[in-house]
Structures are given as C-alpha cells and as structure tokens.
Amino acid sequence: MKFLTLPDGTVLEDAFIVENFLQQYLQLDANKIFEELKSIGSLGETEVIPFSENGEIVKWVTGGHSALKFRGNNLKRRKIWCQKNYKKGMLKYGYTGWQHAISNATCDVQYVRPILKVASALDTFFLEGTEISDKIFKREEHLFNHYIATIYDDETYKIGFHSDKQTNFVEDSYFLVIKLGEARKFEFRLADQKKSKPFFSENLSPGTAIFVRAHSSDGTDANSRVQHGVPEMNQKCKISGSIVARCIKTVVPWKTVQKNIGRAQKTRERRIQRTRGEKEIGSVGEEADLVQNIVRLPEDQAKLTKAR
Ligand SMILES: O=C(O)CCC(=O)C(=O)O
Ligand SMILES: [Fe+2]
C-alpha cells in the first residue's frame, strides 16, 4: 500500500495505490478479465441505447455516441456502466457532461461476467476484514454498488484531469480504479492549482488498484484535494482500460428515468428546430460567418480544449 504524497510532503492517508491488487487480494487474473471485457460488442454510434427490464443488454458505448459526446466533441474513450439492485432503479453517477440519454446504458452487473467477478470478489474482500478493507469499509453503504469499465484503444485515448463528481456518492466512501491492459500512465495533480504539473505520474501495470476517499462532510477527502487523469501518450501504447467501482446513493426509479429521457429528447429537438429556423431566416453566407465566429471565440476554444 503506497500512500499518495503531496509536493509539500503531506501524506494523504485516504489515497493509496496497491500493485497487483486484483491478483493478490482478489485472486483474479487481470489479463483474463480484460480479454473478457474486450470481447463485449459495441453499440453503433447512431443506435438508440436500449432499455431492458432486467438490465441484461450489455454493450460498449463509444466516445462518438451522441449520449456520451461532451459539448459536441467525441470522448476519447468507451464505456460500460453496471450496478447492483437494478430493479430498484438507476444508480446515478452524474459526472461532468452527464446526459439523461446515457441512463439506459446502465445494466445489471449480474449480466457482465468480467465485472461481476471483480464485484463479487470485492464484496468478499471487504467483508473479510484486512488492513485495506478496514480502512474503507466503515458502514454497510461503503460496499461498492456501481461499476464503470473504460477502454482506451490506443495512446491517443485519455481522460483529462478531474476530481470525480461526488454529489451522488455515499458520504466518506472510496472509489476504486483497477487498471487493466497495457501499462499506462496515471497522474495526480493538486486540485487548487489547476495548471500545475502532476506530482504523481507513473505507469501502472494491470491489476493495480487506486483507492481515493470522496465526499467527506469537511471537504478534506483526497478526491477534493487532488485531480486524477490518464494522459495522452507520445509513444505507442496498446489497448488499456480500467474498472472503477463506486458507492452511489442516488437511485432514480426506471419510470422516472424514461420520463427524463423523453423530456430531454424533446428539448433537444426543439433546440435543433429553432437553430434551423434561424438559419432559414438569415442569409446563408452570414449564418456561416456567424457560426465560425462563435466557434473561434477564445473562451469557446478554451472550453473545447478543456473538454475531456
Ligand atoms: O481509467 C482510469 O484509469 C480512470 C478513469 C476515471 O478517472 C473516471 O472514469 O473517472
Ligand atoms: Fe475519475
């Protein structure tokens, strides 16, 4: 167990890295888990994300899918969402850029074999009691109930620096990143010095676990103090990925979820129609200039660059 140490020497007791966690503590084969994950099919970019009563439809949602795009940009990663207690409703992890349209992508972990293996082994591990689990598992709600798998297809895929959006997290719970596939850089930087260089930048091998406490009432949790990310690499890097386990407290009944998706879709259609109407009124040339000017405003460029 290696604690994260800030540049000023402060040791964060609630952020730590455990190499070979999957192999040593969960008795699982990281390569096998990743192979199984990779063999799952992807949803087409224009396909509607289907809802199923039992949550048995499992597909990768690619970064070009409109429900995953962020401010019109393709995300440089693909994802699978799954959870426990599916029938009760969707466990919502509202990350930055979250859209109602992605809700139905969350499936029941029972139907995602490689993630189920990890989830079951994690439950056993936490209930057994070890130095690591005693640190994390303080209350029943501290058992993980939500899992997102991510794949970075090559060195150009990434996730920008961020703290996990923690409003939907159980108070004082940890999130856990388990690295898979090709060893790849994982970085931390200080959250209050956004432009600062990372103080931690290491190639993490498959099976490595990163534990980070989040959403403490006094705001001193590691997730609020540091940001993490998987940067783009300048040398070749084969396919890699992760499974992130979280403790989510927000449950949205599936009926409400479908209503919200419908409403959001209508709003989107109205917006598109309005834009079309405006285009028809103005001259085409003027409109084109206008659009280009808007896109070129420096603050918009900054936002686009920031989009992760
Ligand atoms: O894939 C990883 O290593 C990190 C993923 C992550 O930070 C996230 O999805 O919030
Ligand atoms: Fe994250």
**Taking the model in full, what pTM does it have?**
0.89
Ligand 1 and 244: CB distance under 6 A: yes
Q: What is the pLDDT of residue 279?
A: 63
**String of b and e for 146-159 (b: at least 16 CB within 10 Å)?**
bbbbbbbbebebbb
Ligand 1 and 177: CB distance under 6 A: yes
Ligand 1 and 164: CB distance under 6 A: yes
Which residue matches tokens 């620096």?
A: 161
pLDDT bracket for residue 20 (50, 70, 90):
very high
Ligand 1 and 228: CB distance under 6 A: yes
User: CA 203, CA 17: separation in Å to the nearest integer?
Assistant: 12
Does residue 183 surpass a pLDDT of 80? yes
Å from CA of 257 to ligand 1 middle: 25
Q: If you average pLDDT over residues 144-148, what whole number do you get? A: 98
**Helices within the chain (DSSP H only):** 21-24, 30-38, 113-128, 131-136, 222-225, 254-281, 284-296, 298-306
- Measuring from atom 10 of ligand 1, which residue has the nearest CA? 164
Å from CA of 165 to ligand 2 middle: 8
Ligand 1 and 151: CB distance under 6 A: no
pLDDT bracket for residue 114 (50, 70, 90):
very high
Ligand 1 and 210: CB distance under 6 A: no
Ligand 1 and 61: CB distance under 6 A: no
With contact defined as beta carbons under 8 Å apart, do 157 and 77 qualify? yes
CATH fold, domain 2-252, is Jelly Rolls (2.60.120)
pLDDT digits over 195-225, tens only? Answer: 889 999 999 999 999 999 999 999 999 999 9
Residue to substitute in 37, 187, 228, 233 for testing ligand 1 pocket (most ligand atoms within 8 angstroms of CB):
228
Residue to substitute in 22, 68, 159 for testing ligand 1 pocket (most ligand atoms within 8 angstroms of CB):
159
Of the candidate ranges 15-24, 44-53, 285-294, the one whose mean pLDDT is the lowest: 285-294
Q: Which atom of ligand 1 is nearest to the CA of 77?
A: 1
Label the pairing between strands 106-108 and 78-83: parallel
With contact defined as beta carbons under 8 Å apart, do 247 and 169 qualify? yes
Nearest ligand to the CA of 95 is 1
Closest CA to 125 of 134, 117, 133: 133
Residue to substitute in 244, 248, 308 for testing ligand 1 pocket (most ligand atoms within 8 angstroms of CB):
244
Q: What is the pLDDT of residue 294?
A: 31
pLDDT digits over 254-308, tens only? Answer: 999 999 999 999 998 898 888 877 766 554 433 333 332 233 334 434 444 455 5
